[in-house]
Amino acid sequence: MAVHCRVCGRDVQKFLDLGRQPLSDAFVVTTKEEEYSYLLHVGVCESCSMVQLLDEIPREKMFNANYPYFSSGSAFISRHFQETADELAAQLTGINDPLVVEIGCNDGVFLGRIAELGIRHLGFEPSNSVAEIARARGIDVVVEFFEQRTAQVTKADRGSASLIYAANTFCHVPYIDSILAGVKELLTLDGVFIFEDPYLGDIVEKVSYDQIYDEHYFYFSATSIRNAAAIFGLELVDVQPIPVHGGEIRYTLAHSGSRVVSAAVDALIEKESLTQLHSINRLQQFAAAVKERSGQLVETLQSLRSQGLNIAGYGATAKSATVLNFAGIGPDLITCIYDSTPAKQGKLTPLSHIPVKPADSFAADSPDVAVLFAWNHAEEILTRETDFHAGGGQWLVYVPSVAVVN
């Protein structure tokens, strides 16, 4: 049966099957727990070019009081959001009492800075685990999903927003129509919606298939975002590559015709067209490369194990769920995964059931090999864990290829 595009309603063509998967952030206490699972299938819309999942998961199953992803878990990411807040706040200079709305404010790393600058703001954050930390920092946050209805309530209560910002959240939302309709209604006439998310171009180029999991419903590109925006009376006016989370783009949308479109938009769309980024052939090639990469990782792990080496993981990321469950990697190959998040420690990874241990004990435990599941934070982690390599430990990565790195 044909699946219809969540953006434009036309047919979506499937190109990748990553099998049965758990909710990537649903860590469990025991192996006896009943675990939700779904089929991780990815397709591309033949009309608007949006790459998307075929199966939709009820949002409350993912984003709730147990949600264990804390943005402030990375010092680099915290700094990135503080710098972003300063940069975007500077663009509001001259506007009388602007309102900044953040979609998915998490524990408040971005809005915390906006609040410090004395700017009127509101954060939407449905996961209470993280929202309560944002609130404790003095941020104005509602424990609700941003969508058209809540956008309308915000407009009635607080007026229009000069800036709506979302990092690593807009791509999480299948009901993109409701979000864009809400943005269209809530923005001031010269307001902007700025969001940053993993870039399809980077995912395809690096074969970083671990970016594909339940929470990442869409895989954006300049082409697909321009098409989606146009349906809702919005226009893509700027794109900027940003070097976080393995390669993202920061997109700027404005009311159609309200701003000059930067040359960077046409340049990126042209590049996507030249590289045939959305063509089914290119995406099928990517799918073949995913299977090859996954096979290489398992072979490498099995070979290291057969040499009697003890293999651990570093970073119990949401991304790792796809890698582990697609390849069937469990505690027989990777004995445990070290992670700095208290909410994950002492638990088991979803479905693959690998124990999560505190990152503090990594150096003392000193496994022989550590698979860097948090490869997007390589610089931060390798700078800190210098004793591991000095003591003879080896880092194993699988993006952009399966390799031992030092």
Q: How far is the CB of 315 from ligand TYD (least distance, A)?
A: 3
Q: Compare residues 124 and 388 and give the one whose CB is closer to ligand SAH.
A: 124
For the record, the structure tokens of 12 come out as 């979506």
Q: How far is the CB of 29 from ligand TYD (least distance, A)?
A: 17
User: Binding partner of residue 8 among Zn ion, ligand TYD, ligand SAH, none, CB under 5 to 8 Å per kind?
Assistant: Zn ion
Distance from C-alpha of 382 to C-alpha of 385, rounded to nearest angstrom: 5
CA-closest candidate to residue 375, choices 317, 303, 323, 321? 317
User: Binding partner of residue 374 among ligand SAH, Zn ion, ligand TYD, none, CB under 5 to 8 Å per kind?
Assistant: ligand TYD
Distance from C-alpha of 103 to C-alpha of 164, rounded to nearest angstrom: 7
Which residues, 205 to 224, sit near Zn ion by CB under 5 A?
none
Q: Give me the residue label for tokens 């990135």.
A: 80
DSSP code for 97: S
DSSP code for 223: H
Of 16, 42, 48, 207, the residue at the interface with Zn ion (CB under 5 A) is 48
Give contact residues for ligand SAH (rule: CB under 6 A).
Answer: 63, 67, 69, 71, 103-104, 106, 124-127, 130, 145-147, 167-169, 172-173
For the record, the structure tokens of 263 come out as 């040359």
- Find the angle CA(61)-CA(354)-CA(205) to the nearest 5 degrees: 75
Q: Compare residues 127 and 317 and give the one whose CB is closer to ligand SAH.
A: 127
For the record, the structure tokens of 188 come out as 């001031």
Distance from C-alpha of 23 to C-alpha of 219, rounded to nearest angstrom: 18
Q: Compare residues 92 and 343 and give the one whose CB is closer to ligand TYD.
A: 343
Which residues, 8 to 47, sit near Zn ion by CB under 5 A?
8, 45, 47
Q: Compare residues 304 and 318 and give the one whose CB is closer to ligand SAH.
A: 318
Q: How far is the CB of 396 from ligand SAH (least distance, A)?
A: 26
Q: Compare residues 6 and 293 and give the one whose CB is closer to ligand SAH.
A: 6
Q: Compare residues 95 and 242 and give the one whose CB is closer to ligand SAH.
A: 242
Q: Compare residues 170 and 395 and give the one whose CB is closer to ligand SAH.
A: 170
User: Binding partner of residue 316 among ligand SAH, ligand TYD, Zn ion, none, CB under 5 to 8 Å per kind?
Assistant: ligand TYD
Q: How far is the CB of 235 from ligand SAH (least distance, A)?
A: 22
- Distances in Å between the alpha carbon of 44 and those of 2, 22, 205, 294, 314? 12, 22, 17, 22, 32
Whether the CB-CB separation of 110 and 92 falls below 8 Å is answered with: no
CA-closest candidate to residue 299, choices 254, 345, 333? 333
Q: Is 225 in the site for Zn ion (CB under 5 A)?
A: no
User: Binding partner of residue 315 among ligand TYD, ligand SAH, Zn ion, none, CB under 5 to 8 Å per kind?
Assistant: ligand TYD
For the record, the structure tokens of 256 come out as 């159609």
User: Binding partner of residue 5 among ligand TYD, Zn ion, ligand SAH, none, CB under 5 to 8 Å per kind?
Assistant: Zn ion
User: Binding partner of residue 48 among ligand SAH, ligand TYD, Zn ion, none, CB under 5 to 8 Å per kind?
Assistant: Zn ion
Distance from C-alpha of 51 to C-alpha of 227, rounded to nearest angstrom: 12
User: Binding partner of residue 7 among Zn ion, ligand TYD, ligand SAH, none, CB under 5 to 8 Å per kind?
Assistant: Zn ion
Q: How far is the CB of 306 from ligand TYD (least distance, A)?
A: 28
| 72 burial type by CB count under 10 A (0-12 exposed, 13-18 middle, 19+ buried) | middle
CA-closest candidate to residue 192, choices 244, 124, 260, 139? 260
Q: Give me the residue label for tokens 């290119």.
A: 282
Q: Compare residues 147 and 177 and give the one whose CB is closer to ligand SAH.
A: 147
Distance, C-alpha 136 to centroid of its chain: 25
Give contact residues for ligand TYD (rule: CB under 6 A).
Answer: 69, 73-74, 315-319, 339-341, 344, 359, 374, 376-377, 380-381
CA-closest candidate to residue 202, choices 104, 293, 272, 295? 272
Q: Which residues of this protein are in contact with Zn ion, per CB under 5 A?
A: 5, 7-8, 45, 47-48, 50
